[in-house]
């Protein structure tokens, strides 16, 4: 028997309502934490190493593009300066060289941006797996029942934030000094 979309929606709403009712019970009995992955990615030694590696990998191409852009600007300025004294053929040839150079530069810049984006996505995926593994390891060791991503939590007091502790674990794993920022104190206002 096929369910109508109305009954599917009703079933979903009942399930969502039961989950909302069950969550406060779990919160009262379970151990819940929040972690901020963006902060982990930015402040962890692994995240910093990834950024530095990418900078080193792409710096030569970036310098080449900058030199190419400067050369184009110089050619354009020369053409503007000398256009009045050039013959029609010279002006047309210089204009074509400038357009061809600009087209080549735009193509090279587009390829560079595509390569940087693809590499960043690969590295971020690898870093994300490392961070998730570390959060899981920490959560299991500390007997947490639930760890939520802080980027999707509407509100949580600082008492639930385990980001500094996970950063310490990541720093210890990489051999760096463990100096995370402390979590903010929980608010006492009702």
- Residues 13-48 pLDDT 10s: 444 444 444 455 444 578 899 999 999 999 999 999
Q: What is the CATH number of the domain that holds 137?
A: 3.30.910.20
SS3 32: strand
pLDDT in tens, 100-128: 999 999 999 999 999 999 999 999 999 99
Query: Is residue 98 assigned to a domain?
Result: yes
- Give Cα 187 distance to the centre of its chain: 29
122 CB neighbour count, 10 Å cutoff? 11
- pTM for the model stands at 0.64
| Residue bearing tokens 């990615």 | 41
**CA–CA separation, 164 and 35 (whole Å):** 9
Number of domains in the chain: 1
Task: Give 178-186's long-range contacts (Cβ < 8 A, gap of 24+).
Answer: 180/43, 181/43, 183/158, 183/159, 184/158, 185/158, 185/159, 186/157, 186/158, 186/159
CB–CB of 22/148 below 8 Å?
no
CB–CB of 128/62 below 8 Å?
no
Q: What Cα–Cα distance (Å) separates residue 170 from each residue in 3, 72, 84?
A: 49, 46, 64
Average pLDDT, the chain: 82
Query: Is residue 111 assigned to a domain?
Result: yes
Query: Is residue 115 assigned to a domain?
Result: yes
* Containing structural domain, residue 73: 30-174
Which residues does 178 contact at the CB level (< 8 Å), separation at least 6? Answer: 167, 168, 171, 172
Query: Is residue 8 assigned to a domain?
Result: no
Query: Is residue 87 assigned to a domain?
Result: yes
Query: Is residue 187 assigned to a domain?
Result: no
88 CB neighbour count, 10 Å cutoff? 7
Query: Is residue 156 assigned to a domain?
Result: yes
Does the structure show a pLDDT above 90 at 151? no
Instruction: Give the angle 118-124-129 at the CA atoms, nearest 5°.
Output: 135
Query: Is residue 99 assigned to a domain?
Result: yes
Per-residue confidence (pLDDT) for residue 28, from 0 to 100: 56
Does the structure show a pLDDT above 80 at 12? no
């Amino acid at each position: 028997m096929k369910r109508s979309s109305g009954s599917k929606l009703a079933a979903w709403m009942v399930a969502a309502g039961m989950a909302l009712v069950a969550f406060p019970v779990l919160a009262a009995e379970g151990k819940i934490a929040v972690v901020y992955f963006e902060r982990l990615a930015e402040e962890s030694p692994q995240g910093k190493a990834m950024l530095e590696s990418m900078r080193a990998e792409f710096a030569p191409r970036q310098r080449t593009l900058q030199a190419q852009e400067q050369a184009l600007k110089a050619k354009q300025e020369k053409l503007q300066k000398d256009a009045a004294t050039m013959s029609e053929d010279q002006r047309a040839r210089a204009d074509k060289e400038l357009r061809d150079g600009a087209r080549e530069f735009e193509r090279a810049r587009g390829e560079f941006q595509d390569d940087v984006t693809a590499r960043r996505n690969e590295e971020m995926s690898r870093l994300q797996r490392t961070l998730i593994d570390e959060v899981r390891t920490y959560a299991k060791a500390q007997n947490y029942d639930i760890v939520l991503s802080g980027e999707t939590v509407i509100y949580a007091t600082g008492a639930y934030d385990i980001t500094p502790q996970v950063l310490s674990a990541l720093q210890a794993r990489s051999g760096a000094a463990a100096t995370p920022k402390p979590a903010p104190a929980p608010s006492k206002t009702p």
